[in-house]
């Protein structure tokens, strides 16, 4: 399993899910790990939306529901 990580370089083991075992030179069970794929693709920065617009829509929706319930 691979995961984008800004903390670790590519190829570094981030987490071990199941420990592996060897008996001498023979591999009995391979370990199951999560490996860093390095930093992921850059995400475009979104402009913060104004809180007034979103909260206004929510208030309007709540008002409409109340009107329907009381009718």
Span 10-69, pLDDT tens digits: 888 899 999 999 999 999 999 999 998 887 666 677 766 665 555 555 555 554 454 545
Cβ neighbors of 65 (< 8 A, separation 6 or more) are: none
Cβ neighbors of 32 (< 8 A, separation 6 or more) are: 1, 16, 17, 18, 20
Nearest to 38 by CA among 11, 66, 67: 11
pTM of the predicted structure, to 2 decimals:
0.47
Contact criterion met (CB below 8 Å) for 29 and 17: no
């Amino acid at each position: 399993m691979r995961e984008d990580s800004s903390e670790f370089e590519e190829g570094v083991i981030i987490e071990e899910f199941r420990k592996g075992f060897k008996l001498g030179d023979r591999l009995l069970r391979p370990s199951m790990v999560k490996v860093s794929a390095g930093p992921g693709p850059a995400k475009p920065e979104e402009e913060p939306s104004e809180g007034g617009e979103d909260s206004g829509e929510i208030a309007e929706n709540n008002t409409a529901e109340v009107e329907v319930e009381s009718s």
